[in-house]
Structure 1
């Protein structure tokens, strides 16, 4: 198990909420943070602390991607016309592993990343093993024949934990078409995300 993957068990407790909405989340049993000091009374966060927490939550949600990569998304979002926060959400949702997760081919973003990196996903007929691959509108994402029969894929596609968003056209357990760039309101986050706070954090 990678360091990033094992971190998923701590992210929820650090944030004090289930950011993926999973019933297995440890905050469903223990709402306080991890570690020996986790039960101390939470201090009121400063503006900086609130912004940092918003960044850590969104970064952690997408499989705990690296800080360097996350900052790159922000920089690209700034360069694009329109609202920077909305642009950032759009870029994150264009990730291949995010689309695999949204299409319910995997139970978690971590499992979606693994599915991609192990070569089980094709984009427009070509195998892609880069989880951060940026999809274009109209791209067709397909699972390999082997992946379609995997227990983890079958479990995810049959799960009632979450619905597939309307910016994907999904053939359950088989393929998905990326239709358009979503706005923040279109993305089915289980916890409230605040990209405007992340913009404030990086623009300090």
Structure 2
């Protein structure tokens, strides 16, 4: 996986988790959640594919991704402060979705992703959105306000994004031939297949529960 593709993967995971947590402030049944997760996955796949055609026009941006990380960090810090004072999370949700879409387009345009990776990234969006939303139901029983819990999550990944901004230029010029791979890809992909299979079973179970008149 190329460097930009790795950054894109991390951003997709972080922002999808954040979107799921923000959506967790609103009640929705499992069928609607599955529909939203599926739509998000399809949109992600479409954006990644369309962004390939922007590789040339946006190629100059690859030298400025460190500033993009700093900009994302600044926006998240502002939203974090907002969440610490407000319980209405609609505005942060819209802003995070906008950053998610823009980041996906910009990083995808410079990433060398195979069709398998595109599908995998899209599936991860579906899985994370579905699972994190389900887990968010438990967070509402915590002693702290739900918006404060989201703020803490945003604080953690804003630090990671800030580190990306600090280290991006240095990471780009590393000679990766000097490093020995520590992951064997085949077992890793097999593990991903198992995780996806478990999630599919979970989704089917939720659907059956809804059709049988079970509670969300």
TM bucket (normalised to shorter chain) is under 0.3
Which structure is higher in helix share? 2
TM-score, with structure 2 as normaliser = 0.25
Which structure is higher in strand share? 1
Relative contact order, higher structure (CA 8 A, sep 6+) = 2
Structure whose CA Rg is larger: 2
